Amino acid sequence: MAQGPVNPEEQVVIAEEVNHVRLITLNRPRQLNVISVDVVSLLAKYLENWENDDDAELILIKGAGRAFSAGGDLKMFYDGRKIEDSCLEVAYRMYWLCYHHHTYKKTQVALVNGICMGGGASLMVPMKFSVVTEKTVFAMPEASIGFHTDCSFTYILPRLPGYLGDYLALTGARLNGKELIALGLATHFVPSEKLPDLENRLISLNSGDKNSVKSVIEEFSVDVQPDEDSILHKQSIIDKCFCKESVEEIIKSFGTEGSVEGNEWIVPVVKGLKRSSPIGLKITLRSIREGRKQTLPECLKREFRLTVNILRAKISGDVYEGIRALTVDKDNYPKWDPPTLDEVDGEKVDAVFQPFKEELELQIPANEECRWDGKYENTDYPSLKATA
């Protein structure tokens, strides 16, 4: 086993080495395994070392407790909001980590048995194999608190069918394990009670051969289809409304559809959109739309700029107000600046998208093979068509 501190329960990341297998456990269960500065640094260190280690062939990643990872440590950002450039290093490290996951040379398996949101989802979706269960919950809720869809998901979400990615980014809607399988955001569905046995079998396999790993996972996996009330069966309405050019048009169109009998599910979603940060929604929609036409490195560089500018409160402090209302005071009554969509200054939105000086940009290679390249087209998902 890998050496570590005397008390392993205090480690935010536990790394184990068993012959040719390397196992990472995100170990902040009481905080739903949120991603802190230490977590990013440790993940980056272990993954880089193992990628260059000929003895390491298979990487397994899981979360302790009832979560895989609930994303970034919001309180960390809130507490550091007045420290100049406190966000820069952790943001840079996180985006390099995202890129590393997409282009990793060794076989990786994510075992996702619980909450998987925001940046935490970047530790699942890009993997060669991502195993989900009936307890898996996925969401990208950043826009609602004044942030933006990040960690490579402006590259991933626009490549889902139609405008489903726009819907997920703006509403923060949740997907379960069955839906993740149908969309290709996960590769295998394994009942949660079988997950420990699968983990043990993968460790005993002691190999990173992709075909062998796939065969082992398939021994435990089951075929699943989205439930009857799944959002995936609402594609035509989502496409009709979320193809609009502006957030205002999307909400208006979606609200109109919600008044039609049988579309009652829309009403609480529209209410949620109206409660969300106006500037967060505006930035997110533009970022998702740009991501449709960009490469992974281009998306990551843009997301990095947005992250730094938002955390620096370049045009608004909404992200800190959103975190305050959600996790600090927990009053769930944020006071947005500006308070309405029509008061959002388009020139200010433009400002957070402007490139930095070259030396401050995210420095990642422009071309390197990743799991999502060329595999998914916007309107052609065989797995989803099978559910129609």
Q: What are the DSSP calls for 192-254, one per residue? A: GGGHHHHHHHHHHH----HHHHHHHHHHH-------TT-GGGGHHHHHHHHTSSSHHHHHHHH
72 flagged as catalytic: yes
Length of the chain: 388
Q: Which amino acid is at 254?
A: F
The 3-state DSSP class for residue 324 equals helix
Out of 114, 118, 119, 208, the active site residue is: 119
Q: Is 257 a catalytic residue?
A: no
Of 71, 73, 120, 150, the active-site residue reads 150
How far lies 59's CA from each of 8, 55, 130, 149, 202, in Å? Answer: 20, 11, 12, 27, 10
Which helix (H) or strand (E) segment holds residue 308: the answer is: helix 296-311
Unique residue bearing structure tokens 């990643």: 61
Give how far the C-alpha of residue 320 lies from the chain's centroid of Cα atoms, to the nearest Å. 20
| Burial class of residue 222, CB neighbours in 10 A (0-12, 13-18, 19+) | exposed
Which among 73, 142, 179, 199 is annotated as catalytic?
A: 142
Question: Among this protein's residues, is 374 annotated catalytic?
Answer: no
Candidate list 72, 118, 184, 208, residue with the active-site label: 72
State whether residue 94 is helix, strand or coil: helix
Beta bridge partners of 129: 109
DSSP-derived letter for residue 380 is B
Q: In b/e form, how buried is each residue of 273-292, taking b as 16+ CB within 10 angstroms?
A: beebbbbbbbbbbbbbeebb
Please indicate whether residue 4 is annotated as part of the active site. Answer: no
Q: What is the rounded end-to-end Cα distance, in angstroms, of the chain?
A: 47
DSSP assigned state of 358: G
Q: Which residues are catalytic?
A: 72, 119, 142, 150
